[in-house]
Amino acid sequence: MAEGKTESPGPKKRGPYISSITSRSVNLMIRGVVLFFIGVFLALVLNLLQIQRNVTLFPPDVIASIFSSAWWVPPCCGTASAVIGLLYPCIDRHLGEPHKFKREWSSVMRCVAVFVGINHASAKVDFDNNIQLSLTLAALSIGLWWTFDRSRSGFGLGVGIAFLATLVTQLLVYNGVYQYTSPDFLYVRSWLPCIFFAGGITMGNIGRQLAMVS
């Protein structure tokens, strides 16, 4: 005679959907915090290069940090970095096109190094005129995208980020928050969109990599 098996009642488990939502929220918060501090660090270092070269000038009363940067610049850059870094993998999932090109930390670190080099070139390398500098930085920025990204979504987001960031910067300069020396593109330098584009691609790569390991 076969004996029937009885299962002892145990604690009710949460469904996979609730568990997924909870872990996803925690991962999102952790990735956002990491991206924020990366953005703050890069803002301090890169803005220091610009100020030392007198590319950007802040009023004396807002020179408030040991890196001679306005106090609001690092938090704003950190927040923007978090948003960009979280947006890239989100768009990849929405489009159903997971980004798999050069998905390792060594590639991400090289991308960061190239981005810092592009920013350094904008501040340190002397050209005969801003047009030559802008064309050179544009070629380097597109080269950064081709080398470390190559996705249509990455390029589109990079262009959108460059447009919005340049527009916000124009408004800040127009209202006297700070200024650029020798502006040639309304109130800013013509190469500024190239820096924003490269920065968007870089933070997007970091965000994608963090999403893979979380």
Task: Read off the pLDDT of residues 181-208 as tens digits, 9 standing for 90 and up.
Answer: 777 778 888 888 999 999 999 999 999 9
- Give Cβ neighbours of residue 188 (< 8 Å, ≥ 6 apart): 166, 169, 170, 173, 180
Query: Is the predicted pLDDT of residue 90 greater than 50, yes or no?
Result: yes
pLDDT digits (tens, 9 = 90+) for 7-66: 445 444 444 433 444 577 888 898 999 999 999 999 888 877 766 555 555 555 444 444
Angle between helices 152-174 and 73-95 (to 10 degrees): 150
Residues paired with 56 in a beta bridge: 180
Residues paired with 179 in a beta bridge: 57
Predicted TM-score (pTM) of this structure: 0.78
What are the angstrom distances between the C-alpha of 101 and each of 6, 108, 159, 194?
51, 11, 20, 22
- Give Cβ neighbours of residue 198 (< 8 Å, ≥ 6 apart): 114, 115, 118, 119, 140, 141, 144, 145, 158
Query: Out of 21-35, 51-65, 72-86, 165-179, which region has the weakest mean confidence (pLDDT)?
Result: 51-65
Residue 11 DSSP code: P
Residues paired with 63 in a beta bridge: 70
Query: Is the predicted pLDDT of residue 102 greater than 90, yes or no?
Result: no
Q: Is 161 left (phi over 0), alpha (psi -120 to 50) or beta?
A: alpha
Query: Is the predicted pLDDT of residue 147 greater than 70, yes or no?
Result: yes
* pLDDT at residue 78 in the model: 93
**Secondary structure of 138-192 in the HEC alphabet?**
HHHHHHHHHHHCCCHHHHHHHHHHHHHHHHHHHHHHHCCCCEECCCCECCECCCH
Percentage above 90 pLDDT, the chain = 36
More confident call, 65 vs 153? 153
How far apart CA 46 and CA 49 sit, in angstroms, is 5
**In this structure, are residues 198 and 142 in contact, taking their beta carbons and an 8 Å threshold?**
no
* Average pLDDT of the residues in 98-117: 85
* Average pLDDT of the residues in 168-176: 87
* pLDDT at residue 164 in the model: 95
Question: pLDDT class for 141, splitting at 50, 70, 90?
Answer: very high
Nearest alpha carbon to residue 82 among 43, 22, 34, 128: 34
In the chain the first and final C-alpha atoms are separated, in Å, by: 51
Please return the burial class of 110, using the count of CB atoms within 10 Å of its CB with bins 0-12, 13-18 and 19+.
Answer: middle
How far apart CA 151 and CA 137 sit, in angstroms, is 20
Query: Is the predicted pLDDT of residue 210 greater than 50, yes or no?
Result: yes
